[in-house]
C-alpha cells in the first residue's frame, strides 16, 4: 500500500502517520523530519535547508525528490509506504509519477483543517528534540509534564512554530500545496477527512478509507 498524507501544516499528518504505520506495518517517510535530522546533524543537505525551513519556505523540488528516492531504496519500503509531507508542489507530484522516477501512489488522504485551527494546533505543539515524538499542550499533553514520555528529553517548540512563521507556512500551503487536491481529485484517488475532529475520530476516518482500499 502506497499512500500520501496531504494537508496544511499542523493538520495532523505526522500524528496520523505514526498510528497508520503501526497499524499497517509500513514505514512513514516524513520529508520534514528527514530534513530536520539533517539540520541537527549538520549534513550538507541540512546546511542547504536550515534557513529555508526556519522561514517556513519550501526547499527545492529537486533536493526533496532526491531525499525521498534515497529513502525508498531501503528494504522496509518494499511492501509500501506512507508519504508525509511529500509531494508538496505540483512539480513534485509530476516528478514522482514520471517514468524516470516512478514513485507509486495508490491513494491520497487529505486532512482538511481550517486556518484558525491550524494556528491553535501549531502554537500548542511541543516536540521531543531527541526522538521526534509530538505532543500538544491541550489535546495531547505529555504525562511527564515538559519531558518526553518516550525518552525523558525536555520538550521544545519547533523553530518554524513561531507565530510569524506559522502564517508564512499557511500562505505557502495555499499557494503551492493546496492545488494538489485538484490534481489528485482528477486522478480519482483523493479522499478527504474532517481533520478538525478529535485525534481518534480522525484516525477512524482514515482507517475507514484504508479499509475500503484494501477490499
Ligand atoms: P513538515 O515537518 O512536513 O511540516 P508541515 O507540513 O508544516 O507539517 P507539520 O509537521 O507542521 O504538521 P503535521 O500535519 O504533521 O501535524 P502534527 O501531526 O504534528 O515540513 C517542515 C518543513 O520542511 C517545510 O516547511 C519545508 O521547509 C520542508 N519540507 C518538508 N517537506 C517538503 C517538501 N516536500 N518540499 C519542500 N520542502 C519540504 O499535528 C500538529 C499538532 O496538532 C500536534 O501538536 C498534535 O498533537 C496536534 N493534533 C494533531 N491532530 C489533532 C486533532 N485531531 N485534534 C487536536 N490536536 C491534534
* Residue 88 annotated in active site: yes
The pLDDT assigned to 100 comes to 92
CB–CB of 134/28 below 8 Å? Answer: no
Instruction: Name the active-site residue from 50, 71, 88, 126.
Output: 88
Give the residue, by CA position, lying nearest to ligand 1 atom 1: 32
Average pLDDT, the chain: 95
H/E element, 29: strand 28-30
Mean pLDDT, range 172-189, rounded to an integer: 97
Per CATH, domain 2-114+162-214 is 3.40.50.300: yes
Which pLDDT score is estimated for 213? 87
CA-based Rg of the chain, rounded to a whole angstrom?
A: 16
pLDDT tens per residue, range 127-144: 999 998 999 999 999 999
Range list of H helices, the chain = 13-24, 31-40, 44-55, 61-72, 90-97, 115-123, 163-172, 179-186, 199-214
- Catalytic residue flag (residue 147): no
Is 169 designated active site?
Answer: yes
Q: Is the pLDDT of residue 215 over 80?
A: no
- What pLDDT shows up at residue 160? 94
pLDDT 10s digits, 152-167: 999 999 999 999 999 9
Residues with Cβ within 8 Å of 207's Cβ and at least 6 positions away in sequence, in order, are 20, 23
CA 127 to centroid of ligand 1, rounded, Å: 11
DSSP state letter for 138: T
What residues contact residue 122 under an 8 Å CB cut-off, 6+ apart? 9, 10, 161, 166
Return the ligand 1 atom nearest residue 14 CA. 15
- At 207, the pLDDT band (50, 70, 90 cuts) reads very high
| pLDDT digits 0-9 by tens, 35-79 | 999 999 999 999 999 999 999 999 999 999 999 999 999 999 999
User: In which residue are the cell numbers 531525499 written?
Assistant: 67
45, 155 Cβ separation under 8 angstroms: no
Overall pTM surpassing 0.85 (yes/no): yes
Give the residue among 64, 35, 65, 67 at the shortest CA–CA distance from 51: 35
Ligand 1 within 6 A of 118 CB?
no
How is the chain split into domains, by residue range? 2-114+162-214
CA 208 to chain centre: 20
What does the pLDDT average to over 180-199?
97
* Contact criterion met (CB below 8 Å) for 72 and 103: yes
Amino acid at each position: 500500500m502506497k499512500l500520501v498524507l496531504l494537508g496544511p501544516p499542523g493538520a495532523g499528518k505526522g500524528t496520523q502517520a505514526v498510528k497508520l504505520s503501526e497499524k499497517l506495518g509500513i514505514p512513514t517517510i516524513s520529508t520534514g523530519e528527514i530534513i530536520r535530522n539533517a539540520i541537527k546533524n549538520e549534513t550538507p543537505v541540512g546546511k542547504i535547508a536550515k534557513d529555508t525551513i526556519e522561514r517556513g519556505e519550501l526547499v527545492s523540488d529537486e533536493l526533496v525528490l532526491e531525499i525521498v528516492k534515497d529513502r525508498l531504496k531501503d528494504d522496509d519500503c518494499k511492501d509500501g509506504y506512507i508519504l508525509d509531507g511529500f509531494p508538496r508542489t505540483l512539480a513534485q507530484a509530476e516528478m514522482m509519477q514520471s517514468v524516470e522516477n516512478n514513485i507509486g501512489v495508490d491513494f491520497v488522504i487529505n486532512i482538511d483543517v481550517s486556518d484558525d485551527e491550524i494556528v491553535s494546533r501549531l502554537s500548542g505543539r511541543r516536540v521531543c528534540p531527541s526522538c521526534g515524538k509530538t505532543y500538544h499542550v491541550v489535546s495531547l499533553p505529555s504525562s511527564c509534564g515538559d519531558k518526553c514520555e518516550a525518552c525523558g528529553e525536555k520538550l521544545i517548540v519547533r523553530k518554524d512554530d513561531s507565530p510569524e512563521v506559522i502564517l508564512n507556512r499557511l500562505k505557502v500551503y495555499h499557494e503551492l500545496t493546496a492545488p494538489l487536491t485538484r490534481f489528485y481529485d482528477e486522478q480519482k484517488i483523493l479522499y478527504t477527512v474532517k481533520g478538525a475532529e478529535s485525534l481518534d475520530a480522525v484516525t477512524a476516518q482514515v482507517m475507514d478509507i484504508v479499509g475500503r482500499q484494501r477490499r
